[in-house]
Chains A and B, each alone.
Chain A
């Protein structure tokens, strides 16, 4: 598959941006390239930088500025301790979500809705 459906990519974009930066601190364009390599399509600057700013505002990322060599400077982003713990939790929840979705898609049924529990014998 060349690229995941755009809706799927959008839904997890902030988490995969965090995950990419957790692997290695980097600048915005490198993150966009990495995500493109993983099938998330081309992430435009118009979506990427406001998101990086928001994640930084929320304390999940930190940034530092370095002057450029022969060009404009660049801001490098790294995941904070809070961001790493947030990522662990998101990864676990994503596993559960993926498991449920897989069960449903394979026709094996998902977990019961809360109000149905105890009434259907499961």
Chain B
């Protein structure tokens, strides 16, 4: 192997490592490609290898994240690191944001006062429930490792759209009372502020870790590894089962070699703490997490489009075009909430 070929090879490995570490930091593909492109330009201009021109991959990634605000922001908003238990509490501020958006839309559509009917209330509450359900329930089911179940839930939510519209025709449409529109807006603002404060102060605490495992309880250790890889890092069931089986086999062989007179190490001794081991495994293979995130985004978009269709249909059915205005706003909020909620939840320790 000549010198040029050797340098090209070294550069290939350097770029692979930077790519891998940027993905592990949660940097989106487009920003990652920008960073890699800039690195390649610097390397070419320098005339030396990437490692000589740009330093070790880990240092370069740290510098890139610090110098590239967009990359840092995307990394902070990375949703990975949530457990299924985190999702319900993230729905609490979402309700407040939804009320703010609905209140603002009503203010624009109907002025300072409105006369809601039972039908209006039915539609409003139903649409709000669908927003929260589309955001929370499929994610909960999928993070539990049941991707097929999550698909069914999403289809079920889409079926709920025409059902909600049809059911609204059975609800009386007589005005209930004159209500100042700002009440909805104000309630939403107060709810949002209280929820955000609760998140910040820890009153809505992040899902706690499970109680400490008994060091000798290997079955619990492997169960917890499976749960954390699926829940916190979003790995697929097949991938997780493979990793767990590999670790179990390893442990069996270590014990077999130690003989019958010695008990052999527990899983916690051989692999360390579950959270730490899962973190190391997940960081080593960021592509497993990236695939799951992309899939969730696609399904979220589908849910958002379905919801928009619902609200437009409602507007046409009720001749109340305020709902048509609500639709795009709700969709925008829904898409924004995922990243903001994830950021509030924080990343694994």
When distances are taken between beta carbons in the complex, the residues of chain B under 8 Å from A92 are 6
Q: Which of B247, B249, B285, B286 contacts A68 (CB 8 A)?
A: B249
Complex Cα distance, B288 from A57, in Å, reads 10
Per a CB cutoff under 8 Å, which of A32, A54, A74 touches B246? A74
Cβ-closest chain A residue relative to B8: A85
- Considering only residues 9-26 of chain B, those with a C-beta below 8 Å from chain A are 9-10, 12-13, 16-17, 20
Is residue A60 within 8 Å, beta carbon to beta carbon, of the partner chain? yes
Contact with A along B144-167 (1 / 0, CB 8 A): 000000000000000000000000
Point out residues on B near A: beta carbons under 8 Å: 1, 6, 9-10, 12-13, 16-17, 20, 242-243, 245-254, 257, 270-272, 276-277, 280-281, 283-287
The secondary structure that dominates the B interface is helix
A12 CB to nearest chain B CB (Å): 16
List chain B residues, Cβ under 8 A from A44: 270-272
Q: Is A53's CB under 8 angstroms from B272's CB? A: no
Is there contact, CB below 8 Å, between B247 and A50? no
How far apart are A91's CB and chain B's nearest CB, in angstroms? 11
Q: Which residues of A contact B247 (CB under 8 A)?
A: 45, 49
The majority secondary structure among interface residues of chain A is: helix
- Roughly how many angstroms separate A117 CA and B328 CA in the complex, as a whole number? 68
Min distance, Cβ A88 to any Cβ of chain B, angstroms: 6
Question: When the two chains form their complex, are residues B271 and A60 in contact, meaning their CB atoms are under 8 A apart?
Answer: no
The 4 closest A-B CB pairs, nearest first, are A53-B284, A50-B280, A54-B284, A46-B272
Complex CA distance for A77 and B287, rounded to whole angstroms: 18
Q: A29-B250, A58-B20 are in contact. Are A89 and B10 (CB under 8 A)?
A: yes
Cβ of A10 under 8 Å from chain B: no
Report the separation of the CA atoms of residues A82 and B9 in the bound assembly, to the nearest whole angstrom.
8
| Bound complex: CA A86 to CA B249 (Å) | 30
16 A-B residue pairings within 8 Å (CB atoms) = A29-B253, A33-B257, A45-B251, A46-B272, A49-B247, A49-B271, A50-B284, A57-B286, A58-B16, A60-B13, A68-B245, A72-B245, A75-B246, A82-B12, A89-B6, A89-B9
CA distance A44 to B246 in the complex (A): 13
Q: Are B17 and A72 in contact, with the CB atoms below 8 A?
A: no
Q: How far is the CB of A90 from chain B (nearest CB, A)?
A: 9
Residue of A44, A53, A65, A72 contacting most chain B CB atoms (<10 Å): A72
B18: min CB distance to chain A, Å: 11
Question: In whole angstroms, what is the CA distance A82 to B10 when docked?
Answer: 10
Query: What A residues does B257 contact at CB under 8 A?
Result: 33
Q: How far is the CA of A97 from the CA of B75 in the complex (A)?
A: 37
Chain A's closest residue to B1 (CB) is: A88
CB distance from A10 to the nearest CB of B (A): 14
Q: State whether A49 touches B246 (Cβ < 8 A).
A: yes
CA distance A88 to B247 in the complex (A): 30
